[in-house]
A and B are shown apart, each in its own frame.
Chain A
């Protein structure tokens, strides 16, 4: 059933080559870069994320499978409709959810050995003898792994415990070499935190403007090995991932809506990424979630309500746990399915069993994995080889002082500051996109524009908003259309600055600006000014007479449109005419705004309409 010890693993162990030096070197350089980047307040998070085809495939495959399944079940419309319909039973039953999030920490070494962490290296090349539980080996706690863990705890408002300790959680599985996972059960390193979610984070409308969710604790623990299935009966094991440091974030059952649960996971991921604590997001397998779901009657009149409690939260219904959810959508859908299942059972007079359930992306029902009787007794025991972890106040304070700005803070700054003036929607998008690279690029463009337009005080107020529009929509659109991943080298920030600057100064038209950015995007190596000059794109405004003549000609050629506008009030059609005017004139002579006002004048439509 399992492979014998792989020869490469054994050879590596025998020769003492547990750590690839080149790999560690990369990590050092990478850390240096991160340190520098933080000084500049521009995080270069992509440097931590080693994206490989191998990792991406399962997620993409999942999505494909999901789509396939949906098709089979009657197309996307059917399911969409269903989710939008409000279930009247929810008036009676209240959902309660608590979440456990496991995240891979961004560290150079494993939790208990000096072997390097890796995500895409050849299997079994980063394995110390302890990692594969060779007889006689002992753990060697790598103190540096605490740094990202502590940052996470600080960002999630936890109280850092001055003393914590490690325990063994026992269960047999081939991806768990020691027969136990080292975790923090009795004394976790961080407790009693909280996270606040706002309406713009995508919480359920019923939660209002914001909701604060308590975090019970955060603990450090080991990851397991990767199992590669070779059907029918072979399981290949890659121990590179074994003992990679993880944190587990456990929330209180303060969540009552599926979308809020998804928003919570999304936000925790965003925070962990921003502070550089984790290797990758859910889509790359760097984050997994388990959810605990229960329902209870809202207005219990019998006085015999449920009496389950969890860490001070009382009156809860019997919960079930759904394990190993690997996307935000899975979190939301699994909770909906499990909530509905529990309500079905209760309305039919049944009782909910405390059990562990599973969920496959795209399915409509959770499935039972094991019941209470099959529940594993993990036999938690303090690890007798590992002493307590003592964290000094000075370390916590230093990490607190150097914590990068959190996504919420950045987004609200992008909204409130006159320098940026983005909408909350655009600000959130900017922060969330491309691991923060889009934001870095945007900040760069805004900075350059302010320098460029130093003397044009009148224009400065619109720099942030216009730049945001170009970075997100115009440039973003080009990437989307060409189906390419984001890079800041396709259109250098200086080039976009130059385009926007000339546009704001009305030296080129909007249409010209779009043409310019597309030209550069598709590989034109000339500077913006060169292109404008050589292609004769500078705005040469037509005279009012010329505008009037062109407009009149246009209107007489399109009596149907004129009629539609004037008689049917279809004023949207004016923009069609504007487009026609721009098109039939020489490049760089017609400004859309002027054209519009001339047309309205001729059509006798008030200007402000």
Chain B
């Protein structure tokens, strides 16, 4: 299929699925198609002429970047994020900026100033696309784009991938540059890729997997070569040893999801891999730790939105001694949505002098324990550590396989009465890998329910730096159907 034909299909699909509200802004159609035409004749690069949708918290100089927030509703960045430069350099074209939960805070892409995203309907009810990168997931699932970039702080790529039946890959922390990615929680934020195949996801990943001096957390060349030497030294036998975290078999796990998980493991065993129960004892604290750390960093990162230098500002004076209003309270009060305000307050509290020891510091300790858990079960040593902790277990594994989300995608209606804490539950399986910075991919596993084909997202997690193994394994089984 010619590039132009592919692009025209995407453009047509965007128009057809406009009601899903996957995009916040789109480039001018004829200009985009002209670029594709140009790519067809003169272009080169691994992503030549491919349309890639971009989550709207990644800065682009030609389209607005809003992070789905009212406070940035008319903001256009003066510069391109490094990942945008890399995509353009590899020949990729921006399909549009996708809708999301405001600043990445949410699990269903409903908390957007630009309206909620849906992935379609079930029994005439709109179904959640997952979040926070729901727009990117829907863009790929609905063929609006060849691939998409999202960001994953606690599962924001993997969860929507699981809900929409797409591939969602979150690489190891520090491999892809965050320069130009609007920070939610810097120590967790990771740019991730949506695609319809793991191979395509890998192609996009390879175009972005490079050191960026502008991002102080981007791994330098020396660390990258150390990782590859650790990975290449590992005697990787096929078949693989697959770990099943016993703590993930929680009571809240949807029976269908549990059944698909078990059948998937059985299938892997049938293919010759060996299945090993492993224990990740800190798992039960990981979610709490995440919901202390991420809001803490968010409360700090979002302090910059005051309407002074850019962004929206409430009309009139933004601090008055008469009304005893606090500086910027009006602009920030009007500019942020409820969930963002909730997390800013949460973070402001856990960092306060009276609470920091009991919350922020404790959560950092839990985070370290989560990493130790993973280091204990993976056969591959963590390449970031000089010395490996003495490791009595010989029951070590190459990858972990578990559900991406504890439930199937809910309808948007069913979310209405949900408490915030219920929503946070969706992240229970994705958060541990985020806390430890591990590579993880969600692959759709097909099954039949009530005579109809459906998918459940199954997550494959690897040791830090073992991104290629995770992608290879995903690509081997991504067409998996249990029927």
Contacts and interface: CB of A to CB of B under 8 A. Distances in A.
Do A and B come from the same complex? yes
Contacts of A177: 304, 308-309
A136 B81 contact: yes
Contact of A14 (B58, B78, B351): B78
B296 A381 contact: yes
Majority DSSP secondary structure for residues of A touching B: loop
A173 B327 CA distance: 7
Given A135-B77, A136-B179, A138-B216, A178 B304 contact: yes
Interface stretch (A249-257, A383-391, A498-506, A575-583): A383-391
A233 B326 CA distance: 17
A134 B296 contact: no
B309 A132 contact: yes
B214 interface: yes
Interface in B111-166: none
B473 interface: no
Given A1-B317, A177-B309, A168 B78 contact: no
Given A381-B296, A385-B217, A387-B216, A180 B303 contact: yes
Contacts of A141: 216
A310 interface: no
A13 B76 CA distance: 12
Interface string A50-83: 0000000000000000000000000000000000
B306 A172 contact: yes
Contacts of A9: 309
Given A10-B78, A173-B327, A139 B300 contact: no
Interface string B285-314: 000000000001101101110101110000
B170 interface: no
A2 B79 contact: no
A389 B365 CA distance: 22
A477 interface: no
B309 A178 contact: no
B306 A136 contact: no
Given A1-B318, A129-B78, A138 B67 contact: no
Given A5-B310, A177-B308, A180-B303, A138 B215 contact: yes
A172 B179 contact: no
B327 A138 contact: no
Query: Which residue of B185, B297, B318 has the most chain A CB atoms within 10 A of its CB atom?
Result: B297
Interface in A115-170: 129, 132-141, 168, 170
B169 interface: no
Contacts of A380: 351, 356
A237 interface: yes
Contacts of B302: 179
A573 interface: no
B186 interface: yes
A178 B304 CA distance: 4
A388 to B, nearest CB: 11
A13 B319 CA distance: 28
A179 B348 CA distance: 13
A421 B370 CA distance: 70
Given A170-B303, A177-B304, A178-B303, A138 B178 contact: yes
Interface string B415-454: 0000000000000000000000000000000000000000
A134 B77 contact: yes
Contacts of B318: 1-2
A582 B81 CA distance: 83
Q: How large is the interface on A (under 10, 10 to 19, 20 to 34, 35 or more residues)?
A: 35 or more
Contact of A5 (B309, B327, B352): B309
Interface string A372-399: 0000010111001111000000000000
A138 B179 contact: yes
Contact of A135 (B67, B308, B352, B360): B67
A136 B67 CA distance: 11
A5 B328 CA distance: 16
A384 B319 CA distance: 30
Interface string B173-217: 000001111110111000000000000000000000000011111
B351 A379 contact: yes
Given A1-B318, A136-B77, A136-B81, A381 B300 contact: yes
Contacts of A233: 317
A141 to B, nearest CB: 7
Contacts of B327: 172-174
B78 A134 contact: yes
Nearest to A174: B308
Contact of B297 (A129, A132, A381, A386): A381
B257 interface: no
Given A1-B318, A379-B352, A384-B297, A133 B304 contact: yes
B31 interface: no
B75 interface: yes
A133 B309 contact: yes
A547 to B, nearest CB: 81
B59 interface: yes
A426 to B, nearest CB: 51
B390 interface: no
A354 to B, nearest CB: 14
B21 interface: no
A237 B308 contact: yes
A16 B78 CA distance: 9
A170 to B, nearest CB: 6
Interface in A445-471: none
A140 B78 contact: no
B72 interface: yes
Interface in B51-89: 58-59, 65, 67, 72, 75, 77-79, 81
Nearest to B59: A136
B182 A135 contact: yes
B317 A179 contact: no
A1 B214 contact: no
A129 B303 contact: no
Interface string A255-270: 0000000000000000
Given A233-B317, A237-B308, A386-B216, A137 B179 contact: yes
A2 B180 contact: no
Contacts of A139: 216
Interface in B301-344: 302-304, 306, 308-310, 317-319, 326-328
A377 B353 contact: yes
B75 A135 contact: yes
A141 B216 CA distance: 8
A168 B360 CA distance: 14
Given A5-B309, A135-B182, A179 B360 contact: no
A371 to B, nearest CB: 15
Interface string A166-190: 0010101110011110000000000
Contacts of B186: 384-385
B46 to A, nearest CB: 25
17 contacts: A133-B304, A135-B59, A135-B72, A135-B77, A138-B214, A140-B216, A170-B299, A170-B300, A172-B327, A172-B328, A174-B308, A174-B327, A179-B300, A180-B303, A379-B299, A379-B300, A386-B216
Interface of B: 58-59, 65, 67, 72, 75, 77-79, 81, 178-183, 185-187, 213-217, 296-297, 299-300, 302-304, 306, 308-310, 317-319, 326-328, 348, 351-353, 356, 360
Given A133-B309, A134-B77, 7 more contacts: A134-B79, A136-B77, A138-B217, A140-B214, A170-B300, A177-B304, A178-B304
Lowest 5 A-B CB distances belong to which pairs? A179-B303, A379-B351, A133-B304, A384-B187, A384-B186
